[in-house]
């Protein structure tokens, strides 16, 4: 779902601005998802193009490849629908998936960036440590 190398690269490149720009992604991405859903409800393919394109670009910037790919599929269908003067019905299954994937992506980003989230250990020692949780 996330290209963590791409995410880390964005984090390094943006430096101190990373958290602020990730916040913009959260806000703008939510607006794009709503705009795409509203356009789908009204069968307005033209209104789907820009928010899908915007979401694709912003998701790509942070390594959210699955989200970027889904937004691109929606954008392509919307553009074709405009060109062929057809309803964007073909995009419906992808639009239905969009909000869940966006939310899952934000959750993954939150886990990665929030210093209060406990980092998961790995290996046998981690499994043993988890078995003793809550014991004195």
CATH number of 4-107: 1.20.120
Which pLDDT value is given to residue 114? Answer: 85
Reference 107, options 67, 72, 51; nearest CA is 67
Determine contact, residues 53/39, Cβ cutoff 8 Å.
Answer: no
Domain definitions of the chain by residue range: 4-107
Instruction: Name the pTM for this structure.
Output: 0.83
Tens-binned pLDDT, residue by residue, of the chain (136 aa):
999 999 999 999 999 999 999 999 999 999 999 999 999 999 999 999 999 999 999 999 999 999 999 999 999 999 999 999 999 999 999 999 999 999 999 999 999 998 765 555 555 555 555 555 445 4
């Amino acid at each position: 779902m996330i290209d963590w190398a791409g995410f880390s690269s964005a984090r390094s490149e943006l430096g101190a601005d990373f958290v602020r720009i990730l916040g913009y992604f959260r806000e703008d991405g939510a607006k794009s998802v709503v705009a795409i859903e509203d356009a789908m409800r009204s069968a307005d393919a033209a209104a789907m193009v820009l928010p899908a394109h915007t979401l694709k670009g912003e998701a790509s910037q942070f390594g959210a490849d699955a989200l970027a790919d889904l937004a691109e599929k929606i954008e392509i269908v919307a553009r074709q629908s405009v060109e062929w003067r057809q309803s964007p019905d073909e995009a419906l299954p992808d639009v239905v998936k969009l909000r869940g994937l966006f939310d899952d992506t934000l959750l993954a980003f939150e886990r990665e960036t929030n210093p209060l989230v406990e980092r998961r250990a790995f290996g046998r020692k981690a499994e043993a440590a988890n078995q003793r949780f809550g014991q004195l």
